[in-house]
Amino acid sequence: MKKKFSKHWKASKQPRKQRKYRANAPLHIRHKLMSANLDKDLRKKYGRRSFPLRKGDSVKIMRGEFKGKTGKISVVDLKKLRVAVEGIQRTKKDGTKINVWFDPSNLQIKELNLEDKKRMKAIDKEKNISTNPEKQEGDTKEK
């Protein structure tokens, strides 16, 4: 099987093709794959359902052994599409502590890290589109 990423791939029911898409995706698309859903309050505030995760975001774990716990994101691994949360670690038999990795789909964003200006622009752009539906891309109204 060729190890090439196709920009024209839309969707497939076949898990092998879905895995191939994720495995060979470039960084700018991997960033979008690292999205988690927003808390209800944040959804109303920003007019979006989900947002890409970033170091410093406060998240709540929704699935698994650590369900219900909250913490800040300490590490984002774009290569393996996973996230580590501060304060959630496992102790190995020799006593050393290691991070527990989470899939972004199992997390919910409680608070966004808004220190970055680029991220603020992305949020503002999304707000403007949701508040002004007549200015959406793709609308070509000829008078």
Whether 141 is covered by a domain: the verdict is: no
Whether 5 is covered by a domain: the verdict is: no
Residue 9: per-residue pLDDT = 82
**Mean of the per-residue pLDDT values for the chain?**
87
Whether 24 is covered by a domain: the verdict is: yes
Closest Cα partner for 37 from 11, 21, 19, 60? 60
Whether 112 is covered by a domain: the verdict is: yes
Q: CATH number of the domain that 37 lies in?
A: 2.30.30.30
Q: Which residues contact 79 (CB under 8 A, 6 or more apart)?
A: none
CA–CA distance, 123 with 24 (Å, rounded to integer): 28
Whether 134 is covered by a domain: the verdict is: no
Residue 48: per-residue pLDDT = 87
Whether 65 is covered by a domain: the verdict is: yes
Range of the domain at 122: 17-128
> In which band, very low, low, confident or very high, does the pLDDT at 125 lie, cut at 50, 70 and 90?
confident
> In which band, very low, low, confident or very high, does the pLDDT at 130 lie, cut at 50, 70 and 90?
low
Q: Are 30 and 78 in contact (CB under 8 A)?
A: yes
The helix (run of H) or strand (run of E) holding residue 15 is: helix 15-24
Domain count for the chain: 1
pLDDT value at 136 more than 70? no
User: Over the stretch 71-117, which tens digit does the pLDDT of each residue have?
Assistant: 999 999 999 999 999 999 999 999 999 999 999 999 999 999 988 88
Measured CA distances, 138 to 122, 130, 135 (Å): 19, 14, 9
Whether 51 is covered by a domain: the verdict is: yes
Segment 128-138 mean pLDDT: 62
Whether 66 is covered by a domain: the verdict is: yes
- In our burial notation (b when 16+ CB lie closer than 10 A, e otherwise), range 3-29 reads eeeeeeeeeeeeeeeeebbeeebeeee
